[in-house]
Amino acid sequence: MRLGIVTMAGLLLAIGTGCSPDDGGAIPCTSTDECPGELFCHEGECKDPEEINCPDGCAKGEKCINGNCIQVECMSTTDCPDGEMCKGYDCVPVSCQPEGSTTVCWVACHDGKKTCTNGQWGNCSAPALSDEVCQDEIDNNCDGQTDEGCVQCTTQDPPKPCETACGTGEMTCAGGMWGPCSAGTDCICDEPGKSEEVPCGNCGTQTRTCSKAEGTGDIQYVWGEYGECIGQGLCEAGTVSETPCGMKCGKQVQTCNDDCTLGPLSDCTGEGACSPGTTEDKACGNCGTQQRLCGEDCLWEPWGACQEGTGCQIGQTEYQPCGNCGQQTRTCQQDCVWSAWSSCQDEGVCGTGQKESQKCGNCGTQERICSGQCQWGSWGTCQGSGACKPGDQQEQACGPTTTSGICEKGEQVRTCNASCQWNSWGSCLGAVYPATEICGDAIDQDCNGSDKTQPDQYEPNNSCSKCYWLSGTDPEVTLWPTFDTKGNDAGGTDLNDYFCFTADDGFNIWPSEERIIVELTSQPVGTDGDLFLYKGLTDCQNDKPAASSIVIGGGNEKIDWAESNSDDGGTWYVRVENWSSQPNCGKPYKLFIKGLK
């Protein structure tokens, strides 16, 4: 309160020199020290504050606050139902339990813990905001940058180790800042769920898949390890194998096809004229014989000398093997000379040990082996059979593991190739993957089931009756609040932060005066805060400001209110409203409040 120029006599008259009690049973007094309990000395009588400030009295359920009768729900927690407590004359649910439990809390972008005490969360232990501190690698002022404006290093500093998703490397200093990491980035991919296929082994393939990176900073997706080599054939394409046949010196060849399957056996070539080690006789002289031997090259050596009287016995028969388990005969003739060998009789269908293969199943092969009786054995088990039939297709759901928030499942297709193996799954079409969460926009971008919120240490302070109370009388403080959710509350409708304090109207003589100053500065990009100042709860609830500051855009706001000639003491309310509807989790604005001084 400020007064005009007065005389000393008038001043003494205003102060008074005594009180005159009436005869209604009131307690007379000359000062409040003479009054019991919470009574005040007023006009010579000890009176209740409500009787002084609201002389006409208040209705039931109302409370005299700052000279006004205000409807209140409670005066203490005993007036509230179980599970609720009295706060700001309202019954509100107990905000935490059990006693002593802790939870994560934030001061702008700094995290800490707060403890449950008497059903209410205590102060947050997170570090307070401050100007940027160099070399501590902390975003002290929560502007999204770390150590900005600081010299991080010098050219004399040794290289600093670093790592990427693909390995480790080093960073060197250039221009006072650490340069990029030298570690490679060739393992980085950009489409989660995408597969890459490369050849391996005998016509086989192996794949690797693009997936979410873990612990790699800004890198989001990397290629995984290559999987097992699948779909391999029996041989290496283009190679040729040989198998003995005929009279030992013969051979059959078999070529491996382009799809790594064995082709058919060729005809037997290079058999020669005889089997190594066998002999042949012919007549000579007087029942004599000459003999020749089959060499290791399967060719007959020259005839030996004639051995007189060594011919065969007339009518004698000899047998020898031939071909595939066959037999041929010759008979000793009248001139004691063996006849020519007969044609090969009773041959089998194959040569002992000979192998034959055929296709089976899905691109598989099976073999059979010629037995010692020159007959084919049974076909063996089908080997290398693929998982599918060429041209077949399969579909499956793909994408994120959840459909919460923005996430949606997609579909991918794979096709059976010519080797009867499934190709890698194709790209995941239509899938929507988790994205970086935008704090407070009421959208679940990271698909964890809820939108990220980061209430500041002043919450809840979204209404006049739930303002954040500044301690002390006529405080002078600097605060760092945030608009941390879209609409600054869970419902997304309230864009206001409320702060309240007690003012004491001191006595002073014109031209000196007391003033209330409120300043809003350092607003984050995207916000547009305005300031409103109210005297008393009623004016606050009815939106009748004593002063306001409304600057279009995100510029600085300031209220400089000078006291009136009335009693300006009591409770004052400051409202900060963000007109842009833009949340800024962890990015605070700066609010300076100076009480009536």
Mean pLDDT by 10 residues, the chain (597 residues): 43 36 65 75 78 74 71 79 76 80 82 85 84 77 76 85 81 83 78 84 86 67 82 84 80 87 84 83 78 88 82 84 89 83 89 89 90 91 88 92 92 90 89 84 86 82 91 94 62 71 86 92 87 96 95 91 91 90 76 95
| Strand positions, DSSP E, 175-324 | 177-178, 195-200, 204-212, 221-223, 240-245, 250-255, 279-284, 288-293, 317-322
Residue 583 is predicted with a pLDDT of 64
Task: Establish if 429 belongs to a structural domain.
Answer: yes
Residue 215 is predicted with a pLDDT of 62
Task: Establish if 13 belongs to a structural domain.
Answer: no
Q: Of 118, 148, 175, at which residue does a domain stop?
A: 118
- Tell me how far apart the alpha carbons of residues 196 and 203 are, in angstroms, rounded to a whole number: 16
Q: What is the DSSP letter of 144?
A: S
For residue 457, give the amino acid letter: Q
Residue 1 is predicted with a pLDDT of 59
Task: Establish if 473 belongs to a structural domain.
Answer: yes
In whole angstroms, what separates CA 596 from the centre of its chain? 51
For residue 155, give the amino acid letter: T
| Cβ neighbours, 10 Å, residue 548 | 16
Residues 574 and 500 grouped into a single domain: yes
Residues 393 and 475 grouped into a single domain: no
- Tell me how far apart the alpha carbons of residues 345 and 332 are, in angstroms, rounded to a whole number: 19
For residue 399, give the amino acid letter: G
Q: Tell me the residue range of the domain where 420 lies.
A: 388-434
Task: Establish if 294 belongs to a structural domain.
Answer: no
Residues 568 and 468 grouped into a single domain: yes
Q: Cα dist. 31→45, 48, 505 in Å?
A: 9, 14, 20
Query: How does 382-418 read in b/e, with b if 16+ C-beta sit within 10 Å?
Result: eebebebeeeeeeeeebbbeeeebebeebebebebbe
Residues 468 and 552 grouped into a single domain: yes
- Tell me how far apart the alpha carbons of residues 439 and 452 are, in angstroms, rounded to a whole number: 5
| Strand positions, DSSP E, 480-540 | 496-503, 508-509, 515-521, 529-535
Q: What does the block give as tokens for 190?
A: 């950009």
Q: Taking Cα atoms as reference points, which of 509, 507, 580, 505 lies closest to residue 535? A: 505
Query: Given the structure tokens 């899905």, which residue do they identify?
Result: 362
Residues 530 and 573 grouped into a single domain: yes
Residues 530 and 409 grouped into a single domain: no
Task: Establish if 193 belongs to a structural domain.
Answer: no
Q: Of 100, 118, 136, at which residue does a domain stop?
A: 118
Residues 500 and 566 grouped into a single domain: yes
Q: Cα dist. 144→147, 324, 451 in Å?
A: 10, 88, 20
